Chain A
């Protein structure tokens, strides 16, 4: 009981020997919102493709609701919903027709299909525009329609790949609300990837971070932040020779509540600390007598961004998959219409 997604030692090797996913294991509990984070190319999409039966694992196993994603692929497809980041709705159909088609794909009886279509349309607030061609929809409306498609057959597990990619803040907030309501009202398990750290923080019960095909951290957002250190202290030297600065940094590392010090940009350094308020005066005591001057110090609570940076050595770059990607996609669609 409990685990609805179980991945064990999943491996995917692409032709040419690229190990996109390299032994990934995790479990997702029923009713959980599970965040799956990682830099681009870390193996996120490939893992999702294997869980949603689009790609066959090279090694390892994955089960969804107890069903093997390879052997019982057809049954797995019935219990999962997949909302990819592609905005996979058909522009040449109306919103209603897109949903009708989806109902057909999932073999819902006509009566039930009609009721559910009305229901999901109301849920994503598209009832009034349902009879318009999707071509006339904004990006946010398309996304909402796509999510509605994913919900239509009431899947037990919903895969949401970058559900708010490139959307404006207001639409993002709305989509967060839908996601929370899904969990509360239907008890749906949600497997979510996102580039937005504050989104993962506020939505997810647990988070896994994947980097270079491997899971590098897994836990609740609080646990992960706790592991990195509760607070982040950033400081910058405004003067001092290289040797003096190095000596200062070495002393700062020895302060009891300082966990780790990394080089930031320029003369800046980033330290993960606990009880940061006491570390600040300790820092100045530590460097007293050295020929260095501290230009600025700032202390903030650790965020998932810091966690991400800590585990992957990279900042998650929002612009990589942000507005630009959405714009490209919309342009592509328009070109196609001609």
Chain B
């Protein structure tokens, strides 16, 4: 029963997504520009053997691609709660809440749509990266793995955003809270710099940054191959976080009747 309810919430979000194709493409433009500009600007760096060793690859673009993928799903996920705020403001949330629709279906359906959106965006980035000459060490299976991990990370951010949106009524507050986390999360992770180039205090933060949990296994797969010892810890942490966050979001919606 709940699966059908989730399907209908998902169906609605997907219809909306398909009508906002431009919006979804635009969300990819920025990371693509990053890739093209930063990748080029930093390529001088990788000519330096010390830097190349820190990056673990001779090509900064290859180093950066997984980071940019995670960033894209991060930004997509962060604003996932906004759809709940709109639904509330336009009365659609009440419409769902006065119907027999299972309450848990609301966050779950929306999360599923968010996952589809980030998978699509990350796929676009993978294609752009390929066009820019990035070589993925593990080929197509590796790319699929990258998509799934980035999607997983997007769901974590989306789940937090949705859980907050169940309580917070204003867009401004939700965005302020989410923005407060977004930038520090990005710059204290290994998404854009190699951990080995960081001062030791930052290294410690980066090691426990959820963003790094996603980036490390992805970068391993993209640049070095299936080195499970470097893949599994991050993957396991992500899976645990997804379960917790989704449970939190479901809980928030189940009790959203006061």
The residues of A with any CB-CB pair to B shorter than 8 Å are: 52-56, 73-74, 77-78, 80, 82, 84-90, 92-93, 97, 101-102, 104-107, 133, 149, 332-333, 336
Contacts and interface: CB of A to CB of B under 8 A. Distances in A.
B19 A92 contact: yes
Contacts of B94: 54, 82, 84, 86, 88
Contact of B258 (A55, A133, A333): A55
Interface residues of B, number: 26
A101 B11 contact: yes
Contact of A80 (B19, B95, B98): B98
Nearest to A92: B16
Nearest to B100: A77
A87 B98 contact: no
Interface stretch (B51-59, B85-93, B193-201, B246-254): B85-93
Contact of B12 (A78, A90, A107): A90
Nearest to A97: B15
Given A93-B12, A93-B15, A105 B101 contact: yes
Interface string B6-22: 01100110011001100
B7 A104 contact: yes
A18 B92 CA distance: 26
Interface of B: 1, 4-5, 7-8, 11-12, 15-16, 19-20, 86, 89-92, 94-101, 257-258
A77 B15 contact: no
A276 to B, nearest CB: 45
A92 B4 contact: no
Contacts, number: 78
A82 B98 contact: yes
Contacts of A80: 98
A56 B255 CA distance: 11
Contacts of B98: 52-54, 77, 80, 82
Contacts of B8: 101, 104-105
28 contacts: A52-B98, A53-B97, A53-B98, A54-B94, A54-B98, A56-B257, A73-B257, A77-B98, A77-B99, A77-B100, A86-B90, A86-B91, A86-B92, A88-B92, A90-B92, A92-B16, A93-B15, A97-B15, A101-B8, A101-B11, A101-B12, A104-B7, A105-B95, A105-B100, A106-B100, A107-B4, A332-B89, A336-B90
Given A88-B92, A104-B7, A78 B258 contact: no
A26 B96 CA distance: 27
Nearest to A15: B258
Nearest to B20: A92
A165 to B, nearest CB: 12
Contact of A107 (B19, B86, B96, B100): B100
B19 to A, nearest CB: 5
B4 A104 contact: yes
A257 B16 CA distance: 65
Contacts of A87: 90-91
Given A56-B258, A101-B12, 7 more contacts: A77-B99, A82-B95, A88-B90, A90-B16, A104-B5, A105-B5, A106-B99
Contacts of B101: 105
Given A55-B257, A55-B258, A86-B91, A105 B15 contact: no
Contacts of A56: 257-258
Contacts of B95: 82, 84, 88, 105, 149
A92 B96 CA distance: 16
A154 to B, nearest CB: 14
A135 B219 CA distance: 44
Q: Closest 9 interchain pairs by CB?
A: A86-B91, A104-B8, A88-B91, A105-B99, A82-B98, A88-B95, A92-B16, A105-B101, A77-B100
Contact of A54 (B11, B15, B90, B97): B97
A55 B90 CA distance: 18
A332 B97 CA distance: 22
Nearest to B89: A332
Contacts of A55: 257-258
A53 B20 CA distance: 33
B61 to A, nearest CB: 34
B250 to A, nearest CB: 17
Nearest to A93: B15
B220 to A, nearest CB: 40
A293 B4 CA distance: 76
